[in-house]
Structure 1
Amino acid sequence: MNAPGPPKGGRRAASLLAVITPAIAELTLGNPPLSRIWLMLLWIPIYGAGTVLIRELVRRRRRGASSILLLGLAYGIVEEGLVLQALTSPTMYGAAGWAPRFLGLNSAYAELNLVYHAVFSVALPILLTDLAFPSLRDRPYLGRTGVVAAAVVFVLGGLLLRVTVATSVDPGYQAPLAVPAGCAAAVALLAVVALRVLPPTGSGAPIARARSGTPAAVPRLWVAGGFGAAAGFGYLALLFPFGGAVQPAFTHGGWVAAPMLGGAVVAVLAWWLTRRWTASRGWTDRHSLCLAGGALVGHTAFGVVANAATLADELELSALGLVMVGLTGLLGRRLRAPMPGR
């Protein structure tokens, strides 16, 4: 029997996901500035194919939000630990000086980037694409050939970053053998837990609707958006040194433990509240969009503060943020139709 082909519209949805993933993860944070947008060609293969591959695996196994986040962490380990090797490099980005190194790991950099990739490089792009293609939200986008192609492009994209970005930004560094071995083991463990240990769910969406019908209170749309913005901006501001600082949140010495703990609290609180809200019958796609849109606004606002080097960069990134808000608003108009039974 022949394997089923991709559903109608699946390739378009996968293409959209592949394009918006690096745009969200890098471009709307100001990495790179719009004046050097051509550098995105280096990031599209690993980001786009990686997130498409994660979504395909999760949908085929009928897993949900927790699996997406765990595989997002695994993606972060692949990019930052195996490809760029920034998790352990003593020189790359100056990350070794952000906080004490733990077992050779750049601790604050790891806390910042692994969570960042799970949320902004994987979960949010998948959510937005599922909202744009609601009839496909619980189905794979691609057939078997497409999945294999995504895996191949993902590997080639990693090699591309390795021979371009890593060698130019951090020439000469090669992690000890134990580092890639440990990273590979961590990725394998996360994949097994995400795809085999966690139970299947009725909805594979990153932020599901009306799963359990529990009576938990659902926030107003503006509250969900405001919380997303505050959590996105706050997490980045606590952990990413900016404005001339060399440690997170402008700390010195051992005080760096305070913003690191604060970042962990923000991440756990956001995870807990999101799970609680989305379990309620009152949660809708518009709530999901507001929460995600708020997180993107906070994330881009932080990029303007921390990454824009010139006034022109600030204006360009602000304009890009306004375009993003406008596109999110257009998507929101498509979600205004009343839900069945409401």
Structure 2
Amino acid sequence: MTGRGELGSRKAAWTLIVLAPVSAEVTFSGVTMPAMWLLLPVLVVMYGAGVLFLRELVVRHRGGWPSLLAVGLAYELVEDGIGLQALTSPNLYHAAEWGPRVLGFNTTYWQSQIGYHTVFSVLVPVLLADLLFPRHRGRPYLRRGGLVTAGVAALVGVALLRVGIAATEDPGYQAPLPVVAGVVAAVAMLIYLALKVLPSWTPAPPRFVNLPRPATVAVTAGAAAAGFLALLMPAGLPPDGPAIGTGSWVFLPMALAAALALGAGWLVYRWSAAPRWSDTYRIWLVGGALIGRTLFVVVTAPAANDYQWKPAGIAIAVGTLMIVAMAYLLTLLADRARYVCAASS
């Protein structure tokens, strides 16, 4: 692509690089953990370059949202299994206290991060970039050199997580070699699935349900996001115990969270088959998920700050401002989408 098309693709690429850490961390952990703002340069390298690289791979292989879902799972495994090694660490983030440890894996933590990072680190930023740059939807943002640069930067980001966070927060811990090898093998299989299998897979068209109003879509997305986190994540960050239940009873909220995530995904899959499904609906869907997720942090801010009301009040204020800002910006984006739709019709 040359001329204005090339300029637009560069803008889209840089926008996605910024959107990924903002969606994943700034509007979530940044509410109650001010140190997250200091780590933003590292997060931009890991999140921004990593998500851009995976998005480019999927687009170049003509993959769709199923492929993005698969690479999102791979992304989470690389971040938490190799970079932070929190999937097996008995100390980092108190993840071992979230719920049952099975074969050395922090199962509740793992489930929460699979759902969280797949949606808010990968799917949401990519969808927002598509909405902001509709002319480049489904087209590569980068040339081959840019793709290689993004991949190298993503690897550097993983190393920075290992050295800058894991080594300082959990010094001396090293995930067992079989675990690391298993994570690498799983990542390779997921990427193969995303790039070689899913692009040629043509599922039967879903029988869509009656498409509700956009506001109903937003509320459903927000409730699903907040409910999923509430079932799995302890109220405090960093946590000090399971969100619900103790011992084997924690498997019950884990099962409910899995059912909630699968049910929400199935609804979106069926809604998206409706003839009236449009960018306006996509914006309300993303907005509901983002706001519901940040609202969870605002509600749990007192517990996250050990019920010290001054820092809790600051967190609540920051989170509320973030919610207002996101709602305002998404409203502008919805107005723009309606204008583009009207202009093209």
Fold conserved between structures, TM > 0.5? yes
* 1:67-82 matches, cutoff 5 A: 67-82=67-82
| Change in 2 beyond 3 A, CA 1:329/1:341 | closer
* 1:21-36 matches, cutoff 5 A: 21-31=20-30, 33=32, 35-36=34-35
Alignment equivalent of 1:235, drawn from 228, 231, 239: 228
Write the distance in 1 (CA, Å) between the matches of 2:242 and 2:87. Answer: 16
Alignment equivalent of 2:320, drawn from 314, 318, 321: 318
1:168-215 Cα deviation digits (max 9, x unpaired): 11111001101110000000010011110113489xxxxxxxx96966
Superposed structure 1 runs of 4+ greater than 2 Å apart = 3-8, 30-36, 199-202, 211-216, 243-250, 305-309, 337-342
Write the distance in 1 (CA, Å) between the matches of 2:92 and 2:240. Answer: 13
| Change in 2 beyond 3 A, CA 1:108/1:271 | same
Say which is worse superposed, 307-316 or 219-228, in terms of deviation: 307-316
Write the distance in 2 (CA, Å) between the matches of 1:41 and 1:33. Answer: 18
Write the distance in 2 (CA, Å) between the matches of 1:287 and 1:158. Answer: 34
Q: Report what 2:308 is aligned to.
A: none
* 1:168-317 matches, cutoff 5 A: 168-200=168-200, 216-242=209-235, 246-307=240-301, 309=305, 310=311, 311-317=313-319
Give the superposition deviation at 1:318.
1.4
Q: Report what 1:207 is aligned to.
A: none
Q: Do structure 1's residue 11 and structure 2's residue 4 form an aligned pair?
A: no
Write the distance in 2 (CA, Å) between the matches of 1:263 and 1:213. Answer: 24
Secondary structure at 2:171 match in 1: coil
1:99-122 Cα deviation digits (max 9, x unpaired): 211221110000000121110000
* 1:45-84 matches, cutoff 5 A: 45-84=45-84
Q: Is the 8 A contact 1:18 1:44 kept in 2?
A: yes
Q: CA RMSD in A?
A: 2.3
Give the superposition deviation at 1:238.
0.6
Write the distance in 2 (CA, Å) between the matches of 1:271 and 1:215. Answer: 13
Give the superposition deviation at 1:317.
1.9
Q: Is the 8 A contact 1:63 1:198 kept in 2?
A: yes
AA in 1 matched with 2:138: D
Q: Report what 1:146 is aligned to.
A: 146
AA in 2 matched with 1:273: L
AA in 1 matched with 2:314: A
Give the superposition deviation at 1:96.
1.0
Write the distance in 2 (CA, Å) between the matches of 1:258 and 1:14. Answer: 41
Q: Is the 8 A contact 1:53 1:150 kept in 2?
A: yes
Q: Is the 8 A contact 2:206 2:270 kept in 1?
A: no
Q: Is the 8 A contact 1:17 1:48 kept in 2?
A: yes
Write the distance in 1 (CA, Å) between the matches of 2:82 and 2:136. Answer: 32
Write the distance in 1 (CA, Å) between the matches of 2:208 and 2:315. Answer: 46
1:230-250 Cα deviation digits (max 9, x unpaired): 011011111001159744433
With the length of structure 1 as denominator, give the TM-score of the two structures: 0.91
AA in 2 matched with 1:274: V
**Same amino acid, percent of matched pairs:** 43
1:138-190 Cα deviation digits (max 9, x unpaired): 10111101100100110111111111101111111001101110000000010
With the length of structure 2 as denominator, give the TM-score of the two structures: 0.90
Q: Report what 1:208 is aligned to.
A: none
| Change in 2 beyond 3 A, CA 1:235/1:40 | same
Secondary structure at 2:277 match in 1: coil
Write the distance in 1 (CA, Å) between the matches of 2:158 and 2:243. Answer: 31
Secondary structure at 2:199 match in 1: coil
Write the distance in 1 (CA, Å) between the matches of 2:63 and 2:325. Answer: 33
| Change in 2 beyond 3 A, CA 1:186/1:118 | same
